[in-house]
């Protein structure tokens, strides 16, 4: 992420959303996802960025990032638009073909980096 930046990541997410017909819901920048207990909802304001494990007074402890992911998933479910489109109603995939022969294929219908119409960029680690 440090090479591409969050702006590029956001651009890609919104591009894919428009292409596939999905929904992107943004949580507030200051939503305390890592400070909230994913079980009871209590907030641990003492948690610092150096703390890697979230601990709640009720005894619940979880990796800080995992706890934040659970809280953001819950937030997304609560703020999700009620209309969910069926996969068949999404935009059609164009200019993507399977290559011939054997080789690593993911699942039926998915494309890989060597398929026609797919651009890949080398990212330094």
Of 67 and 25, the structure prediction assigns the larger pLDDT to 67
Does residue 12 lie within any of the structural domains? no
pLDDT digits (tens, 9 = 90+) for 38-49: 999 999 999 998
DSSP 41: -
pLDDT digits (tens, 9 = 90+) for 47-68: 998 999 999 999 999 999 999 9
Q: Give pTM, 2 decimals.
A: 0.57
The total of structural domains in the chain comes to 1
Please give the pLDDT value at position 70.
94
Length of the chain equals: 125
d(CA 114, CA 32): 40
Range of the domain at 42: 29-87
- pLDDT > 70: percent of the chain: 61
């Amino acid at each position: 992420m440090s090479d591409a930046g969050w702006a590029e990541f956001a651009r890609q997410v919104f591009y894919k959303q428009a292409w596939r017909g999905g929904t992107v819901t943004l949580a507030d920048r200051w939503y305390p996802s890592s400070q909230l207990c994913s079980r009871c909802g209590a907030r641990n304001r003492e948690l610092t960025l150096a703390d890697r494990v979230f601990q709640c007074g009720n005894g619940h402890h979880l990796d800080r990032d995992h706890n934040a992911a659970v809280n953001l998933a819950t937030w997304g479910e609560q703020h999700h638009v009620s209309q969910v489109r069926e996969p068949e109603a999404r935009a059609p995939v164009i200019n993507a073909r399977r290559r011939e022969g054997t080789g690593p294929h993911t699942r039926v219908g998915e494309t890989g980096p060597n398929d026609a119409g797919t651009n890949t960029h080398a990212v330094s680690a």
